[in-house]
Amino acid sequence: MGQRLASYRDNLEALGRRNRRRGLRDRAGHDFASNDYLGLASSPELAEAAHAALARGVPVGAAGSRLLRGNHFEHEALEEEAATFFGARRCLFFGSGYDANLTLFSTLPQTGDLVVYDELSHASTREGLRLGRAEVRSARHNDVEDVEAGIKAWRAGGGRGTPWVAVESLYSMDGDLAPLRDLLTVVESHDGFLVVDEAHATGVLGPGGRGLAAAFEGREAVLTVHTCGKALGVSGALVAADGVLIDFLVNRARPFIYATAPSPLTAAVVRAALQLIEAQPERRGRLHALVQHAREGLRSRLGLDGGGAQILPVVLGDDARALRAALELEAAGFDCRAIRPPTVPEGTARLRIAITLNVDEGAISGLIDALARPGLALAA
């Protein structure tokens, strides 16, 4: 290996010694790892929607940015229908949730503004803030008082801009919910904005699967991000906000302006996914029943209470221990991945159990039996 590659090799070897080197693996076993909560990704309904879109001439590629020739009817139809579905003023479609968060936070908060973000916010939010112009402060997880204290301290220090608060409605690694109503009260009392990443709630939680911020959607102070690659089963993301902010993104957001537009075919299939979410509420009912079954099993067999959502963490602490447990579960036929720092805080490596409609009660019971088996790395 040439000297030019040595530092990269050494870095990878250091990750390996710390049990943090990652690699790509094929899918195998019962699905307790994906975010396909409603089982739509491989559904015949979405496959048929893709076939129908191709048959009516929807192109696979956009062939340009949306400000050039890449804009397509399917993009605009999706944005209009999504705004109606979520109760938002306007929506703008992005290629991924990462792109949406990076673009939003690097573009909308201005010089002189403050962004207070929850310490467990997604990497895409942090990267957008790193690229942005605003002052940035973190707040303790789900601590409304700490959020407000950060805003007050900034004001006391001479801050005169607009405060922004960034949270997730359902946290992807802990499975707990943000206190959105209290956070909105703080934001509105300081004439600011609340940005809610609904990635893991869209399609699953809230009235009709519209997310946990549905009661506040459409307010001038509220922006939401609805990911299309999790419960909706496709890909992309929608930023929902006041029309002035959407137009500002179209005119000022470099990742939007200078990138090839998302596939019009993808937009067409996301439209179908939103229609399915509305037409088939029984999917959410089945998912919630499976979540309850999993929670009861984890509580009775392992003494764990993972909260009320479809993400159930089993925190093990040590990286190597989490890896061993995941490998043993894989050998038993269960795909349940180990999550390690920096994705989660130091000392909180875990198994992240995601409940989806790709499994049934029998598979869930089998997973819990495997977790409770004597000798599994779950044991200290």
pLDDT score for 380: 47
CATH code for position 108 = 3.40.640.10
**Of residues 74, 169, 230, 328, which has the active-site annotation?**
230
14 within domain boundaries = no
Q: Which of 229, 264, 279 is the last residue of a domain?
A: 279
**Of residues 30, 31, 35, 174, which has the active-site annotation?**
35
**Of residues 197, 217, 319, 328, which has the active-site annotation?**
197
Query: Does residue 152 share a domain with residue 207?
Result: yes
Query: ω into residue 342 within 30 of 0, thus cis?
Result: yes
SS3 percent helix, strand, coil of the chain, rounded to 5, is 45, 15, 40
Which residue carries 């960034």 as its tokens?
Answer: 166
pLDDT score for 295: 95
52 within domain boundaries = no
**How do 222-227 and 193-197 pair as beta strands?**
parallel
197 within domain boundaries = yes
CA distances from 66 to 54, 250, 258 (A): 20, 9, 9
Percentage of the chain lying above the pLDDT 90 cut: 88
pLDDT digits (tens, 9 = 90+) for 20-40: 888 878 888 999 999 999 999
pLDDT digits (tens, 9 = 90+) for 317-356: 989 999 999 999 999 999 999 999 999 999 999 999 999 9
**Of residues 172, 235, 263, 358, which has the active-site annotation?**
172
Query: Does residue 205 share a domain with residue 113?
Result: yes
254 within domain boundaries = yes
Judge whether 42 counts as a catalytic residue.
no
CATH code for position 342 = 3.90.1150.10
Which residue carries 């496959």 as its tokens?
Answer: 47
Query: Does residue 198 share a domain with residue 341?
Result: no
Domain encompassing residue 87? 58-279
d(CA 167, CA 177): 10
Judge whether 200 counts as a catalytic residue.
yes
Judge whether 119 counts as a catalytic residue.
no
**Of residues 168, 198, 217, 328, which has the active-site annotation?**
168
Structurally, the chain folds into a number of domains equal to 2
pTM, two decimal places = 0.93
57-71, 93-107, 337-351: which has the minimum mean pLDDT? 337-351
378 within domain boundaries = no
Contacts of 369 (CB under 8 A, 6+ apart): 301
Q: Which of 218, 245, 279 is the last residue of a domain?
A: 279
pLDDT for 274 beyond 60:
yes
Is residue 322 within 8 Å of 339, Cβ to Cβ?
Answer: yes
Amino acid at 268: A
Judge whether 79 counts as a catalytic residue.
no
**Of residues 30, 75, 122, 226, which has the active-site annotation?**
122
Query: Does residue 177 share a domain with residue 237?
Result: yes
pLDDT score for 330: 93
Query: Does residue 332 share a domain with residue 195?
Result: no
* Banded pLDDT at 168 (limits 50, 70, 90): very high
**Of residues 30, 190, 200, 226, which has the active-site annotation?**
200
Judge whether 328 counts as a catalytic residue.
no
pLDDT for 1 beyond 70:
no
pLDDT score for 339: 92
Judge whether 188 counts as a catalytic residue.
no
* Banded pLDDT at 212 (limits 50, 70, 90): very high
**Which residue, among 307, 306, 337, has the nearest Cα to 322 in the 3D structure?**
337
pLDDT score for 218: 95
Judge whether 172 counts as a catalytic residue.
yes
